[in-house]
Amino acid sequence: GQQLNQSPQSMFIQEGEDVSMNCTSSSIFNTWLWYKQDPGEGPVLLIALYKAGELTSNGRLTAQFGTTRKDSFLNISASIPSDVGIYFCAGLQGAAGNKLTFGGGTRVLVKP
Amino acid sequence: EPEVTQTPSHQVTQMGQEVILRCVPISNHLYFYWYRQILGQKVEFLVSFYNNEISEKSEIFDDQFSVERPDGSNFTLKIRSTKLEDSAMYFCASREGLLAKNIQYFGAGTRLSVL
């Protein structure tokens, strides 16, 4: 089946740092979504990408949809403590866009 | 802001028992989904539901699972005879419609613990 490979699996951030994570696939997806999951909660949508090459921002978050529709990155600028959590990329295939295929997640932790 | 609500937040059950997980999707949404997340793993698709029927299901969604929209607001997932490996977080999601931008909104989840 389709797989989304997300990296890094985990990262430590220090307040004020910029962080970056990415997601790659061997399959083409029509829509890429980035979600954040806090402990004990459901995924919350951060950014949605629809067109190849699209670059979209949401506050301190910026994400881009790769030109081949097989990859995407998410950047967080000037990180703050509440950025801690698990970030998932998720892709949809087909016009109906039924099921989301999720990446393995990037766990963002605060540097001790 | 409208949200997907799920009950209960935590369900503990004995192996072999039936459980029903409940969801109230966002009110004007037409597409409904169940996903599962085993502890420490990624979120996995179980089933999608539209127009009172299943539109797609994964291989995880075997004969032990069923979904129902018993009235205009609830969407349920039933597991007939739970197994230890069914222990996971179960997320309900909903989407407005074909013209909505493919965005699925998730509930906070139900943690199912099978003992």
Q: What are phi and psi of A4, to 5 degrees?
A: -115, 125
Q: Which of B30, B42, B111 has the most A C-beta neighbours within 10 Å, making it the best mutation to test the interface with A?
A: B42
Chain B: give the shortest CA distance to residue A15, in Å: 25
Chain A: give the shortest CA distance to residue B41, in Å: 7
The pLDDT of residue A110: 84
Residue B63 confidence (pLDDT) above 60: yes
Contact B48 A99 (CB under 8 A): yes
Residue type, B69: R
Give the model's confidence band at A94: pLDDT under 50 very low, under 70 low, under 90 confident, else very high.
low
Contacts of A92 in chain B (CB under 8 A): 102
The pLDDT of residue B32: 94
Question: Could you say which of A30, A50, A102 has the minimum Cβ distance to residue B43?
Answer: A102
pLDDT tens-place string over residues B74-103: 999 999 999 999 999 999 999 987 665 778
Give the model's confidence band at A111: pLDDT under 50 very low, under 70 low, under 90 confident, else very high.
confident
pLDDT tens-place string over residues B35-50: 999 988 889 999 999 9
pLDDT tens-place string over residues A45-86: 999 999 999 999 999 999 999 999 999 999 999 999 999 999
pLDDT tens-place string over residues B11-32: 999 999 999 999 999 998 999 9
Q: Point out the least confidently predicted range of A8-22, A23-37, A97-111.
A: A97-111
Question: Which tokens in the block code for residue B94?
Answer: 């909903």
Question: Could you say which of B6, B45, B101 has the minimum Cβ distance to residue A100?
Answer: B45
pLDDT tens-place string over residues A1-12: 668 999 999 999
- Do the strands B19-24 and A44-49 form a parallel or antiparallel pair, or are they unpaired? unpaired
- Give chain B as a 3 state SS string: CCCCEEECCEEEECCCCCEEEEEECCCCCCEEEEEEECCCCCCEEEEEEECCEEEEECCCCCCCEEEECCCCCCEEEEECCCCHHHCEEEEEEEECCCCCCCCCEECCCEEEEEC
pLDDT tens-place string over residues A31-48: 899 999 998 889 999 999
The pLDDT of residue B44: 95
Mean pLDDT of A82-91: 94
| Interface contact B102, partner A, CB < 8 A | yes
- CA nearest to B76, candidates B58, B90, B63: B90
Cβ-in-10-Å burial (0-12, 13-18, 19+) of B96 comes to middle
Q: What are phi and psi of A82, to 5 degrees?
A: -75, 0
